[in-house]
Chains A and B, each alone.
Chain A
Amino acid sequence: QLQLQESGPGLVKPSETLSLICTVSGGSISSSSHFWGWIRQPPGKGLEWIGSIFYSGSTSYNPSLKSRVTISVDTSKNQFSLKLNSVTAADTAVYYCARQEVTVTKPFDYWGQGTVVTVSS
Chain B
Amino acid sequence: QSVLTQPPSVSGAPGQRVTISCTGSSSNIGSGYDVHWYQQLPGTAPKLLIYGNNNRPSGVPDRFSGSRSGTSASLAITGLQAEDEADYYCQSYDNSLSAWVFGGGTKLTIL
Given known A46-B2, A49-B102, contact A108–B93 (CB-CB < 8 A) = no
Bound state CA distance, A107 and B102, in angstroms? Answer: 11
What A residues does B85 contact at CB under 8 A?
A: none
**B23: CB under 8 A from chain A?**
no
| Interface residues on chain B, size class | 20 to 34
B-contacting 9-mer, from A8-16, A17-25, A82-90, A109-117: A109-117
Interface contact B93-A104, CB-CB below 8 Å: yes
Interface contact A63-B89, CB-CB below 8 Å: no
Interface contact A47-B52, CB-CB below 8 Å: no
**B45: CB under 8 A from chain A?**
yes
Interface contact B98-A60, CB-CB below 8 Å: yes
Bound state CA distance, A48 and B52, in angstroms? Answer: 20
Given known A46-B89, A49-B102, A63-B98, contact A107–B36 (CB-CB < 8 A) = yes
| Shortest Cβ distance from residue A54 to the other chain B in the assembled complex, whole angstroms | 14
> Which of A37, A48, A105, A111 makes the CB contact (< 8 A) with B46?
A111
**A33: CB under 8 A from chain B?**
no
**A120: CB under 8 A from chain B?**
no
**A32: CB under 8 A from chain B?**
no
Bound state CA distance, A47 and B52, in angstroms? Answer: 19
Bound state CA distance, A60 and B100, in angstroms? Answer: 10
Interface contact A46-B103, CB-CB below 8 Å: yes
Of listed B46, B93, B105, residue having the most chain A CB within 10 A = B46
In the complex, chain A residues 22-62 whose Cβ is within 8 Å of any chain B Cβ: 37, 45-49, 52, 60, 62
**A80: CB under 8 A from chain B?**
no
What A residues does B33 contact at CB under 8 A?
A: 104-105
Given known A46-B2, A47-B102, A47-B105, contact A107–B97 (CB-CB < 8 A) = no
Interface contact B45-A108, CB-CB below 8 Å: no
A-B complex: 8 closest residue pairs judged by Cβ atoms: A107-B36, A47-B102, A105-B34, A104-B93, A49-B100, A46-B105, A111-B45, A107-B51
List the interface of chain A (C-beta within 8 A of B): 37, 45-49, 52, 60, 62-63, 96, 100, 104-109, 111-114
